[in-house]
Structure 1
């Protein structure tokens, strides 16, 4: 074989090798691009699912509309209020219907959009709002440590029937009596200062909580930065807050919930506690974070009137009263009347850490104190209050008796339930709770 023939064969071989190499590289590139596309697509899908569950795609998450089994009697029909629809709807009318007869959500005024949530209710014609009292997740204290021992979950800490009612509520609210933070310094000279780990805010999700009140005398226990951290922690788990903010406009803001049937609920939260000229718990200002204080209730009454002008059912969740006594004080009594006259439809109080009476003030139901819900290891009577708003304008209130004991809280039944209801009735002059917990005027 000549050198020229050998060189020719060698060149042909090189050409074939180069062709094969190019084919392999081309195929590898195609495989890489397909794999990259699949991975990126899967990642985007996963991120969308997570964002949707956390409420990052269009506001706060809505609750699962599948009911949790619990013992909950049918609501009675006790007329208490007119119909409450979003501004622009006349009382007595159904929300506007689309061409196919489907209900359409009324337009939300631009100024309300930051704090307005469209909610899907378990019943198209009823929205149920649950209220519980003081909670504490600081695991340096018995109550907070109980949640920690149960895997940062309410299961095993809150009794099944009570927890079922909380999860079934379309809107569930508690008093968040502490900040979530790793930073800050305790208020100097304050006897009790609380602080929970930011990740413990996720416990609220296991409780079915949608919104917390921050207008209280412990939200500022570790200063301004810890309060700011608290708001961030709540945002991270999709729980709304009211009664505190980065400035007074935020702190005094009203949170609105609008149902798919068009009912509109407004929640306002404020505190009159630490009745001092220089309280530990700082009031929000035009330029600094703090809570919404209402010892001077001028701004509170203004917010109530604004909400009523928007045809909302107005709930005021207020921190007031004197600790460890069932007796209401004069500031509760006087302010309840002012709040009612300003247009509130329901007043829910906390701070005393014990139950106080339920009464009607100028026609408005007032629950003066919900008491502790899950705050310490003491044995104390407690409750869950459920407000049910019907599209025909009726409002039902139910008092669910409960007992906090040994770092758990459970629904009271049988003789214990009747004892607590009897105790509440003994304090109330204008309201009565029947054997099933339904509240009406005497």
Structure 2
């Protein structure tokens, strides 16, 4: 079967890889000059199935007000006359109940855990390297009430068999020795030892190279102009490089997927949530993090990637704005500088922003669309890197007519009906 994948971020490339592995003839097109140059380029670097939770949850509306008032708060809302923005916000707020949180998390954890296992198998079969480490995630609590409030999360981790450790100050320092210099700034942590880290852009680029050697065609600098349909099927894609046709099509365009799905008459509740990161060269390895430390107060992830520290965070509801805001850089610098002083050269850090394609309930959208030969793989939010390999494998199984190893029925777009 000929398959055309729209998008060469980590979701598009993993989809292409597993489709090719299943025996399909695959072509990937992207408007950028190479793979992983948008959302996948400089994310926080976490492969964190243990941290896979919906943003919408009990108490979030109250917390949101607090976050908006904090100097280095993790949330920004820039109101606009955009009906899609307000529709998404309303749907997200509707999911902020204990019952819906439990359902949504139950849909996210299995695909995230499965994806981590699929990634391990991919590493074993290809020897792909991407500044990867398997030393877990440490959710760090600066305040006692944060540590006291983890009971619900711990119960969910137990329910799904996700390994975890509740740590005091000494335990946190044993896991992350660089925190030894600032022990007075935190009270404890929740460690998820099964989590991993790695450079998503490096992974995606190298997987694209491996996929190319396996016969996948990548066409870069190709802009989609129209997706043509007839009688319930996609008949072709008009692009800046001419008409592209296939038997089956995959929508993996991240935050731009909903734009095209609206044009196709099937709106999907995916909205761009803007995030920021800095990448800091390490100047004192002993003072740097070993893996990922999640600064729970500011919702900022601090991750070791080889000889660099990636610091990522912020949820800005601001449409498709890609401007860099200096205040966001200051927030990232404050978190890493406060917890790992002297570890990196902040003056030499690079500053980046990207758009996360977020659903209002949390789980991604994977599976069939209303068009018989168009499939969706989008809406992963902050967990695209975490869920990429599993999502690509599941989508390949669905397209190939095989039963996926995990139940993906609740991830289809039909759940919004």
**Normalised by the size of structure 2, how large is the TM-score?**
0.25
Query: Would you tell me which structure has more helix in proportion to its own residues?
Result: 2
Q: Give the number of the structure with larger relative contact order, counting CA–CA contacts within 8 Å between residues 6 or more apart.
A: 2
Greater C-alpha Rg: 1
